[in-house]
Amino acid sequence: MRSIWRTLDRGVLTGIGAICLAVAMIGVSYGATAVTAGLPAWLPVLLSVAVLAGGSEFVFIGIVTAGGGLIAAVMAGLLVNARHLPYGLSVPDVIGSGWRRLLGTHVMNDESVALAMSQPDRERRRAAYWLCGLGVMAAWPLGAVIGAALGSVVPDPNAFGLDAVFPAVLLTLVLPALRDPVTRTAALAGAAVAAISAPFVGPGVPVLLALTAVLLVVRRADTGESSRADEHDAAATETVVKAAG
C-alpha cells in the first residue's frame, strides 16, 4: 500500500477520494430507495457486497419493486454488466493472475478502469486501478448500509440531488481525455447513440449500444497505422532509388 501512495500523484489520489465519496453517497440513495420500496434492509447490503456494480443493482431493484420477475431482473442486471467485457480486455496487464485476478475482476468498475486507462505507464495504471477498485468496494456497501438504515427517515433520497453526484464525477474524469480529437469524436458519437436509443430500449442498453462508437477509434487507429506504414515504405523506396542513382 505504501508503494501505491508513492506511485500516484496527489491529483490522482484526490480524484480517487472524490470518487469513493460520490460512490458512498449514491450507495446511501441506493439503500434508501430499496428499503422505501418495501424490500428488506439486508437485500441491498448483500447485493452491494456480492455484485458490487451499482448500475445493475439499481436495475435489479427497480424491476423487482415494479413487480417484475426475478429471472427478468437478474437477466437485466447481467445485460447492464456486459460492459465489463470490454473493460476486462482493456486492462489485462493491471489485474494480475491467480487470486489477484479473481479479486481484480470483482472490483472492476467504471471508475477504476477510467483512472487506470488515464495513467501513462503500467505501474501507475495498476496502482490507480487497485486503489480505486478497493476504495469503491469499501465505500459502496458502507453507503448501502447507511441508506438502508435511513430509508424510513429519507423517503425520497433523490430529492437531495444524490443521483447527480455520480455522473458529475464521471464527467470530471473523462474531460481530460476529450482533448484528443479521435476520443472526442467517439465520445460524441457514443453519446448520440445513447440519447437516440434511450426512449426505445431498457435501462442500461443505451450504454452498451454507445460502445459501438469505439469502432471509430479502432478504425481511425488502423487508418493512421496504415498511413504511417505507407509513408515509411515511400521513404524507403525513395532512399533506394537515390542510392541506385
Residue from 222, 208, 170 nearest 76 by CA = 208
Task: Write down the domain spans for the chain.
Answer: 2-176, 180-245
Region class of 94: left (phi > 0), else alpha (psi between -120 and 50), else beta:
alpha
| Cβ atoms of 147 and 31 closer than 8 Å | yes
Provide the phi-psi class of 238: left if phi over 0, else alpha when psi is between -120 and 50, else beta: alpha
Alpha-carbon distance of 165 to 168, in angstroms, equals: 5
Q: What is the pLDDT of residue 226?
A: 47
Higher pLDDT, 165 or 196: 196
Cα separation of 94 and 100, whole Å? 10
pLDDT of 60-104, one tens digit each? 887 787 776 788 788 877 877 887 887 877 788 888 778 888 888
